[in-house]
A = this chain, B = another copy of it.
């Protein structure tokens, strides 16, 4: 399996920090500790504290862009990415935007992720087909993280439909592994909330890397996710927690609580790998 620059960055950060944990940076101002809420740069201040508290414990950060766009905080997202590069050099950033549009527009979305924000990877939606993903795939050094089996309950509605003896998410997984991943820059989103599906997709896609949301607030079991999802070589997983880490504490000690929650998740993952 070809592994590109993004995969090398991810592997280096995972090894350096002995961690498969990705911290999702999904800021919700009304859940911030009171002393931060009214600051004009509340999001950036919150993110900086979380990054300071977790920089040595993670293999990646994943800001979810809707949380910034909803409140017009693009500048604080940009500053957050800058801060990660400064404070956690070598830790890659996955911009979670789940974009999907026709090719001429997808080019603009790729530019948003990689040129405006300087992200190392981006999440994309496959529903529009290969030509909608191609402008992303052309960034051979980056990670293109394609939605396959998502972590929400509604995922069943279309992703589980049977298509000639396979479920739609299985078709997506095989298509990406066999046809879209020629540059070695593809990853898949597979929710931790469905360990059987994780194991199934692992079997269908060999050594591909999965971004696994759904532990923490969404209730996915870490041990089952690790055992179902990892590769034979004991790698291939990036396990994301957002709310479970960001809002582990609610007072002035929120950053310390976030660090403890990150350590717990890292340790639970590492225990499951043994």
Chain A residues within 8 Å of B, Cβ to Cβ: 26, 64, 66-67, 69-72, 74, 98-106, 108-109, 111-112, 115-116, 125-132, 147, 150-159, 161-164, 168, 171-172, 175, 213, 218, 243
Contact = CB atoms under 8 A, between A and B. Distances in A.
A100 B128 contact: no
Given A161-B171, A162-B163, A152 B108 contact: no
Indicate how many identical chains form the complex. 2
Contacts of A71: 111, 116
27 contacts: A26-B105, A64-B105, A66-B108, A66-B112, A67-B105, A70-B112, A70-B115, A70-B116, A71-B111, A98-B99, A98-B101, A100-B127, A102-B151, A102-B152, A104-B243, A126-B158, A127-B147, A127-B150, A127-B159, A128-B159, A129-B152, A129-B154, A129-B157, A131-B152, A131-B154, A132-B150, A161-B164
A105 B152 CA distance: 11
Given A127-B126, A163-B162, A163-B163, A108 B157 contact: no
B161 A109 contact: no
A69 B164 contact: no
Given A69-B108, A98-B101, A163-B161, A155 B128 contact: yes
A229 to B, nearest CB: 19
Contacts of A64: 101, 105, 108
A173 to B, nearest CB: 12
A112 B153 CA distance: 23
Contacts of A159: 127-129
